[in-house]
Amino acid sequence: MVVTGLCFVAVTALVKLNGPRIPAAEAAFLRYALGLVFLLPILGALKRVEFTPRLWRLFAIRGTFHTVGVTLWFFAMTQISIAEVTAMNYLTPVYVTIAAALFLGEKLAMRRIAAVLCALAGAMIILRPGFRELSIGHIAMLGVAMMFCVSYLTAKLQADAIPASVVVAMLSITVTIGLAPLAYSVWITPTLSEVGLLFAVACFATAGHYTMTLAFAATPLTVTQPVTFIQLVWAVSLGYFAFGEAVDIWVIIGGFVILGSVTFITWREAMLKRGEITPMSHETKV
């Protein structure tokens, strides 16, 4: 999940660098279409998978919701700062953690609830709803959080049944198909540099989805999601040093709140895991 965070921050930077000339739907389509090249090494794995009706339904659901989500995300990146986009992305893991407990039966201990609530409070400190006007970019990110919540829940169900590489491959295929008509309706011929940047986006995004799916397969969602909050530090630094975006004091305060919650939950989970694997005092320790 740490590697996933780094990859997704790189995606954010490259999309910001690309600018608003290319419509959001087209930029999202090119990102996924160019990413199809990464399917070539795993064609064998795709052929070996038994595609049941249940899997096809999950692919269709995730593809539909992710298509809407990425379109809104690309649009939001042209409207608000990197720090704001990243902060509002934190609504997704909050929704995912709660939904995983409600619909997937995952255990939601009080320490995890407290960590999620603190992280959400940190994000709200950054956004300060009610104290300033929320732009259309902020509204778009609210939609992104809901769309990606459904996408990640279905990814967890898929990761329990098929390899991570196949999960990522089917996401790329279904979202590319879903974005094609949207991109066609607003198509503007991209320059070579714009295509190059969007290919780099595809590289980092594909790697991020792959490492995220590996994390989903290895541990419950309620464990993986709090780790994503550390992306804020990277996003704020990137916005300041690379794009000249001002660092708001509220962003710093909210970041410390988020980091505090992440540090606590990571330490607590490590202590519990150590307790499970540490032998009794009279047992041989290897």
* Overall number of domains in the chain: 1
Residue 227 makes CB contacts below 8 A (sequence gap 6+) with 1, 2, 5, 262, 266
- Domain assignment of residue 25, yes or no: yes
Q: Which domain, by its residues, includes 261?
A: 2-277
- Domain assignment of residue 166, yes or no: yes
- Domain assignment of residue 88, yes or no: yes
pLDDT at 279: 37
Query: For the segment 191-234, what is each residue's pLDDT rounded down to a tens digit?
Result: 999 999 999 999 998 898 788 888 878 877 667 766 776 777 78
Average pLDDT along the chain: 83
Segment 254-260 mean pLDDT: 76
Q: Is the pLDDT of residue 76 over 80?
A: yes
Query: For the segment 23-38, what is each residue's pLDDT rounded down to a tens digit?
Result: 999 999 999 999 899 8
Please report, as a single letter, which amino acid is at residue 130. Answer: G
C-alpha–C-alpha distance, residues 165 and 249, integer Å: 41
First to last CA, the chain: 29
Of 255, 264, 221, the closest CA to residue 121 belongs to: 255
- Domain assignment of residue 285, yes or no: no
